[in-house]
Structure 1
């Protein structure tokens, strides 16, 4: 448990071997945090650092090292792990609390939570190593099932909407993640602080770009005047099923298929949030 102080570790372990594993794990965590060179981190991971697993020590897995690289934004180390181990570096580690087999996509969730856009892009490249589109889709849309895992039950897209991390959201959607969380995006738009409202607006706009058809939303029917004022007449009518998608929205949908950077390169008056 590398987030504990070394003085706390002695109180939690029952054997000298386990205590030694915890000390080396904490040392590895600190080394990644300090962004030491990749070759040194790999030497530590393979030869010096051990986890205590089922009563036996073992080396840190590449997927566990990638979690540390994500948390501390060590881009060089993340790039090495993804290039060297490909999709195996994205496997969910086993939960240390209940010892259940890893599930979901914790690397995606952590990348979104910490807004690690550069490493998230590297992960999207690594995902192309999956031979079948269905496996990539399953990974992009997966939700952690273990209750001990942070953000359990939420996909990376849902988390990006909740946190208003618009750039991460756009990258996930371009790569094929399902555009879920529209109702959350609407609620976020009206409940967030003014300092993050622009990012919340961008999240809503990006979801609209990828929605094949708008789902029925009760909140639009409950307060039509309020939402018509916030969304504009064309978008509001489309979400209510009263009109086709606005022309600008349809044009942007075609453009975004060529990559997430295509939207950001547009002048401000053509950005999705300028549709009103």
Structure 2
């Protein structure tokens, strides 16, 4: 529990062994925050740092250490953990409050803190999954317990909600399910001028990767003038079912389905703003 002060730890913990575990856990948290070298952190994690579980101490798991690396953007440590432990560094964590698995929160934590570089390392590590279904479970998982931050949301939904276009594109390119079109449209409406560019990019990426567009004609035509100004006439007409998609958008959607990784390598004149 690294967010508790040492005086609070003394009151919450009953046994000297548990108090010692909490002190070492907090020390490890601080060491990652201070960006100490990887070799030193791994020595601490494997030999000196313990957490308390089921009435006894145990060493910190790589997946727990990766969460600390995510929060504090320790890219070298995250890279080491993912190279050394691969997918097992993304294993589900046990919730200390209800003692059930709380899912694998690493992707949503990366989106929450906008850790694009570490997110890229994680989705690459997922290529080592035994099966495609297991990999998809990681990409589209919601993470379980109701009291856990961002519970019930996929990494894609959170990226849309927070307008994190770089995170969203990484997830979609690596096979995450495109979801949250309604949220992307609402985010575009509610964003101020500064945030709107990021919200627009998120919407653009979803439009590329959605396998099938829902019927939005009634929703958009209720405020026709506003949506036309936000989306442009061509995209507005397409989403309302009044016209085919713009030619460039149609070509990019085909590219996203056939070779999604090529989307990130497009030259400037073929970037998403070109169809607006």
Say yes or no: TM over 0.5: yes
User: What's 2:206 paired with?
Assistant: 207
User: What's 1:232 paired with?
Assistant: 232
Task: Compute the displacement of 1:45 (Å).
Answer: 0.5
Per-residue CA deviations over 1:129-186 (Å, capped at 9, x if unaligned) read 1122122112111112201210000000000001101000000000111110011111
Q: Which piece of structure 1 moves more, 80-89 or 136-145? A: 136-145
1:57 alignment partner, SS class: strand
User: What's 2:108 paired with?
Assistant: 109
User: What's 1:266 paired with?
Assistant: 267
User: What's 1:196 paired with?
Assistant: 195
Task: Compute the displacement of 1:265 (Å).
Answer: 4.9
Q: Is it true that 1:183 corresponds to 2:179 in the alignment?
A: no
The answer to whether the 8 A contact 2:66-2:81 is kept is yes
User: What's 2:69 paired with?
Assistant: 69
Q: Which piece of structure 1 moves more, 134-143 or 26-35? A: 134-143
For 1:244 and 1:131, locate their aligned partners in 2 and report how far apart those are by CA, in whole Å: 40
Task: Compute the displacement of 1:237 (Å).
Answer: 1.8
The answer to whether the 8 A contact 1:143-1:155 is kept is yes
Q: Is it true that 1:145 corresponds to 2:171 in the alignment?
A: no
The answer to whether the 8 A contact 1:95-1:148 is kept is no
Q: Is it true that 1:33 corresponds to 2:33 in the alignment?
A: yes
The answer to whether the 8 A contact 2:102-2:148 is kept is no
Task: Compute the displacement of 1:97 (Å).
Answer: 1.2
Q: Which piece of structure 1 moves more, 14-23 or 247-256? A: 247-256
The answer to whether the 8 A contact 1:214-1:238 is kept is no
For 2:199 and 2:59, locate their aligned partners in 1 and report how far apart those are by CA, in whole Å: 41
Paired positions, count: 274
Task: Compute the displacement of 1:266 (Å).
Answer: 2.5
1:76 alignment partner, SS class: helix
Task: Compute the displacement of 1:90 (Å).
Answer: 0.3
Cα 1:124/1:143, change in 2 over 3 Å? same
Q: Which piece of structure 1 moves more, 226-235 or 216-225? A: 216-225
The answer to whether the 8 A contact 2:2-2:25 is kept is yes
For 2:265 and 2:191, locate their aligned partners in 1 and report how far apart those are by CA, in whole Å: 23
Cα 1:85/1:249, change in 2 over 3 Å? same
Q: Calculate the TM-score normalised by the size of structure 2.
A: 0.94
Task: Compute the displacement of 1:235 (Å).
Answer: 1.1
Task: Compute the displacement of 1:201 (Å).
Answer: 0.6
For 1:260 and 1:226, locate their aligned partners in 2 and report how far apart those are by CA, in whole Å: 33
User: What's 1:18 paired with?
Assistant: 18
Structure 1 residues 141-180: aligned runs within 5 Å = 141-180=140-179
Cα RMSD (Å): 1.6
Per-residue CA deviations over 1:104-152 (Å, capped at 9, x if unaligned) read x300000001111111111011100112212211211111220121000
2:211 alignment partner, SS class: coil
1:160 alignment partner, SS class: helix
The answer to whether the 8 A contact 1:160-1:169 is kept is yes
The answer to whether the 8 A contact 2:161-2:187 is kept is yes
1:128 alignment partner, SS class: helix
Q: Which piece of structure 1 moves more, 166-175 or 252-261? A: 252-261
Task: Compute the displacement of 1:255 (Å).
Answer: 4.4
For 1:70 and 1:261, locate their aligned partners in 2 and report how far apart those are by CA, in whole Å: 27
User: What's 2:133 paired with?
Assistant: 134
